[in-house]
Every structure is written in C-alpha cells, then in structure tokens.
Chain A
Amino acid sequence: MARKACRKILVVDDEPDAVEFVRAVLEEAGYAVVSAADGEAGLRAARDQKPDLIILDVQMPGKDGFTVFADLRADAELPRVPVVMLTGVGERLGISFSAQDMGDYLGQEPDAYVEKPVDPQVLQDTVRDLLIG
C-alpha cells in the first residue's frame, strides 16, 4: 500500500476536463498525478518530474502523442517508463497503424492503449498492471 502511494503518473492532454477526469480516477486509486497541456510541456515534465508512468493523449495540437512517445523513447537519459496512449478507435478514418508498422517507425510501441471515453476501471487496471511489471 505504501509503495503504491509513492507512484507518480504524468498525464499529457490538451483538454483540461479530460486531464481532470484521469486525475480523479488515478488519485482514487492512490496515485499522485501531475499534468502537462501539450507535447513540449509533457517532455519537459517527463524530465523534471521523473514520473513512474506516462499517459499520452494522441490528438493534440503541435506535437501529437505518437511524436511525443517517439521523443521519449529516443531520449537516452530518460528511464524507460511505461507509456499508455489515450486514443479514440479509428482516430483517423480508414487508417490504422499495426503494431508492426509502428515498430518500424518508432523502434518500439507503447505499452498500452486506452480508448476514449475512458472507462475508470479499465484505466486503473491498466496502470496497475503496468506498474507491477
């Protein structure tokens, strides 16, 4: 229990209400939550705050979630923490990235995808499972 209370999660999403939603869900599960409102701020926060897990919204103005993810993994000085992508299924009509294709481009793939609208239980379970491993 005490271990869980120390875990810090970074949420990157340009939509403040969406951030509040995720914050409420994760704080209920006992995590500490910090947030950033866009891709660049998210990268800065990842370096400064050293979170245990990062949640990225895919569709943001400026750098989108996939780009931020690529930058995170490319940064050798950042520890490799689990990353969860928040996404709408069929984000862009008719286009899907298979895990293999994503791997080709980014060298790795995110640890999990959570669909919006967020189901609180699904989000809590996903985070918990990733932090155990």
Chain B
Amino acid sequence: MAKLVVVHGEAGRRELLIGGEATLGRSPACDVVLLGPLCSREHARITRVDSAYYIEDLGSANGTVVNGQTVRKAQLHDGDWISIGDHQLTFLVDDDFVAPAPAFLLDEATPTVVDTFDLEREIARIEVVDSRAVERYRSQLAAVKEVAEGACGALDVERLVDVILRVLVAAYPQSDNVHALLLGLGKGGGDLGRSSSRDAAARSAGMSSTLLRIATEEQRAVLASDAASDIRFEDAQSIIGQNLRSIMCCPLLVRSQVLGAIQVDTTDPGRPFTADDLQLLITIAGQMAVAAENARLHAEVVAQQRLAAVGQAVSSVAHCIKNAINSLQGGAYILDLGLKKSEADRVAKGWEIVKRNTAFMSDLVGDMLAYCRKAPPRRERTDIGLLLKETAALVQETAAQKGIRVAWAVEESLPATRVDPTALKRAVLNLLTNAVEACSEGSHVEVGARRAEEGGILVVVSDDGPGIPPEVRERLFEPFFTTKGSRGTGLGLALVRKVAQEHGGDVEVESTVGSGTTFRIRIPVAAQEDETAVR
C-alpha cells in the first residue's frame, strides 16, 4: 500500500492512500485534487505495475518534478519528493525496516560467515546480575544517550562527524582508530570521511575497504579479527611483530539506503571487540544514521532555498535590465527617426530617453555592487548634521519641482559618531529619494538625527505622504522587492538595512496609510567612541 503525503499546499497537510491508480490535478474528478493556477486540470497520474509505482506527467503546463528533476514518466521509490505547482508531496511505501544483522568473521582477508549472532539466545543467558556487566551496559547506554543528544542535534555535517568520532572513542576506549564515512555529504557532493587515532603520530590504517564493502553492500555489521594462526602470513614475516587486530564496521542505514559507515579497530590484546561491542555499535549506528539523514535533508533544504533566492534575484535583475534596454532601444529608434527626417525635436527626445535609461542602468549596477560589497564599513568621525544637510541638498531640486518641502533638523550636541560616511549618505539618500517620490505637492519631508535613549544615534527620515500599507511594509526591506514597477531596482531599502546592520544597528519603519511614514536608522555607539559633542 502506498501513501501520498501532501506536505505543503493550500489545504495544509494531508495523507492519502494510493491503490492501483491515482490521478492528480486541479479537476475535482481527480483522485488527488491539487488547487492553484500552476496545476493543470489533469496534471499527473500514479500507477502501480506489479509492486512498482510509476508517476506520469499528463502534458501539464508546468511539469511534474520528482526529487528536483522534471520527469515525463518515472518510477517512484519510498521517500521520493514530488512537486506539482505549489504543492510538495512525499511518496511513501510501507517498508519493513530491517536492522542490520551482525555477522562474525574470523579471517579478514577472505571473510566467511562463521556464525550469526542470536540476540534472543544471548539475552536468555543473562540470568545473574553481574556487576561488571551492569557497568558495561551502563556505559553503553551512556554512549547511546550521547549520540542521541549530540548527533541528532547536529545539522552541520562537520560537527556531526566530530560527534560521531567522539562517541566512538568514548564507547570503545580500547580503540586505536575510529572512522566515520558519510556518503555524498562532503564538499561538492563527494563523500566525507574522517578518522581519529589514539596515537596521532602513528599512521592510521584507514578504513578497511574489505569490511566497508561488506557492510555497505550486504548492509550488515561485521566484526573481524586477524587470524591468530599464521597460515596466511608469508614466511618472511615475523609473527612476533604482528599485532592482533580487531575491527568492527557497521553501515549507517535509513530505509534500506546506505548513508555511510562507522568503523573502529584496536590492537589491544586484552580487549578485542566482542559480540556485546558489536551490538552496541549497531545501536549507535542506528542513531547516527538518523542524524546523518537529518543533516542531509537540512543541507538539501538550504541548497534549495539558496537556489531559489539566487533564481529570484537573477530573474529580478534580468527583468529590470530588460525594461531599461527596451526603453534604450526605443530612444535609439526615435533618435534615428529624428536624424533621418531632420526633426530636431525627435533627436532631442530620443537622446533624453537614451541618457535617462543609461543612467538608470548605471544606478542599478551601482546599487547591486553596493549591496553585494563585502568590506566592513570604513568608519571615521563624522559630523552627522553636516552629512544629513548635504544629502538633503541632493534631493532639494527634485522636491522643489514637485512642490515638496524638505526640512533638516539635528539635535544640538549630538555626540560625534564613527560611521562610514559614504555608506550612511547612500542609505539616507535612498530614504529621501523614496520619500520625495512618494509624496505629492504640499507634502513635507524631514530628515534629522538625535541621540538614542540606549546610546548611539537615531537618523530619522519622515514624511506626511500617502503611507505604506501593511502587506507592503512586511516586504519592504527584501532585496528586489519594489512597488515601482519596472522603474524600481528593489535594492534601495535592502541597502539601507545592510548599512544599518553593518554598523551594528538596524532600521525600522512606522507608517499609516494616509498619514505618512517614518524610517529610523539606529546606529549604536562604536567601540572607541568619544562622547564629546561635535559643534
């Protein structure tokens, strides 16, 4: 029996059982109704053939995506993610979880299964309370507990591996080396393998590839010891110099999928690994597998989000530029006509358009670079009042043309503040330009600065213009979010926030539709602040 879990979509979370066939789409006749403009009426169909499930796209407009790939028809496996429009679905098939069965090997070189470990029989043998056994079990439980807490909380793969190694060392104090291998979670999607050795100077033997292969291919935990007998050794080698080596390797399994493996080895003649040790390793591996899966899923989500953000940014930039190019070509076209027909008006008009749009693209690129700039602010002691006055002067002309009054008010004895004057000027200019653009004739715009109660300064830009509705206010500082249609870069306010945060502060907005808007940039006291007033 298969199950579809709709994880994200308009109707919230739903679980649906799938029988032999199920259609998905917007039409109410579908077995799984998925609403929204991105879903086609008959979008996809899931069918069962023998015991395998397949999904087929029915010619939808936006496609059917399985595990990130757009597919025409694909087989579905337990745990697959399906995306249809805005909806995310998980496909689950009932699976009997099989814990890895331990196997004992006596000979590492040509491993053969000698005996299988019968847990029930072993448990039946424990009748007498043995204090040493109790102590052993207690320390085993402690190791399991540490894994559960430490490993499962670690979403960062590097930290996870460190926790795994630490737990193994603690659980098996006799071990010379411990190894952890996580498949596909390393840099660039490669495998992440790490080892820890008791003797840091000694060259680690590394993971036994034979045991690793058995563990991952057969999905079994293995315990191996070098043969005590010398049958396999070449005559030239001296037995005395050889250490008996005891090795355990266990795969990390989630739903029958191998995520990696752990391995410990020791040459301690008094404490080779035992059946108990192997059983503990299996238990620990189970926990670590869950943690590794968590880390993998988390990494995927983060990567998806990053891709989506980049995609969104690229799309927005391309759109902005495309509109500017369209206007640029328009200006050139008009200019051309003017030249052909010797119409000076047209030449002037076309040239204006070309100049204006070239300037826009230049501003856009400037905004993008300023926004992406990684360098920390270059602070210097700045007369904030003077800086604000100069910035206000820059918008004076445009404001006057629109009949808007721009006023400037700075508190007396404002403390000297170390800020990056270029960055702050840019931020204030963005706020002022926005204010002047939003307001109409007769409005007032004010820019000022004063001490903040908690120390540092507040730079305030306010207007009595139309105000900002709440749904826009929520997204105001998002990069590439703009209400100006094709004329906005969507980066102006994002830059203001960046500047404020780089100075250790932040920006907030207060606005009521119909009464006006106020932006406050808070800049806290910098490290070497001088409290004397600048006057």
Please give the residue numbers on chain A whose beta carbons come within 8 Å of chain B beta carbons, in ascending order.
14-15, 17-18, 20-22, 24-25, 28, 59-61, 88, 90-98, 100-101, 104-105, 116-118, 120
Contact = CB atoms under 8 A, between A and B. Distances in A.
Considering residues A24, A91, A105, A120, which has the most beta carbons from chain B within 10 angstroms of its beta carbon? A24
Interface stretch (B34-42, B90-98, B219-227, B452-460): B34-42
Given A20-B330, A118-B330, A61 B319 contact: no
B61 A15 contact: no
B192 to A, nearest CB: 31
Nearest to B487: A15
19 contacts: A15-B485, A17-B353, A17-B356, A18-B326, A18-B486, A20-B334, A21-B327, A24-B333, A24-B334, A59-B486, A60-B485, A61-B483, A91-B319, A93-B312, A93-B314, A100-B40, A104-B41, A116-B322, A117-B322
A118 B327 CA distance: 9
A90 B311 CA distance: 12
Contacts of B486: 14-15, 18, 59
B323 interface: yes
B238 to A, nearest CB: 68
A43 to B, nearest CB: 17
Interface of B: 37-38, 40-41, 61-62, 311-312, 314-315, 318-319, 322-323, 325-327, 329-331, 333-334, 337, 349, 353, 356-357, 483-487
B485 A14 contact: yes
Considering residues A21, A22, A94, which has the most beta carbons from chain B within 10 angstroms of its beta carbon? A21
Given A17-B353, A22-B330, A91-B319, 14 more contacts: A17-B330, A17-B356, A17-B357, A18-B327, A21-B327, A24-B330, A61-B483, A61-B485, A88-B322, A93-B312, A94-B311, A100-B40, A105-B37, A118-B329
B326 A116 contact: yes
A37 to B, nearest CB: 10
A93 B38 CA distance: 13
A40 to B, nearest CB: 14
B227 to A, nearest CB: 60
Contacts of A98: 40, 61
Contacts of B318: 88
A117 B485 contact: no
A93 B314 CA distance: 9
Considering residues A17, A28, A61, A96, which has the most beta carbons from chain B within 10 angstroms of its beta carbon? A17
A105 B331 CA distance: 37
Considering the complex of A and B, which 9 residue pairs feature the smallest CB-CB distances, nearest first?
Answer: A21-B330, A17-B327, A98-B61, A93-B315, A117-B326, A116-B326, A61-B485, A14-B485, A24-B334
B485 A21 contact: no
Contacts of B357: 17
Contacts of B62: 94-96
Contacts of B325: 117
A24 B337 contact: yes
Contacts of A105: 37
Contacts of B323: 15, 18, 88, 116
A58 to B, nearest CB: 10
Contacts of A21: 326-327, 329-331, 333-334
A25 B333 contact: yes
B337 A96 contact: no
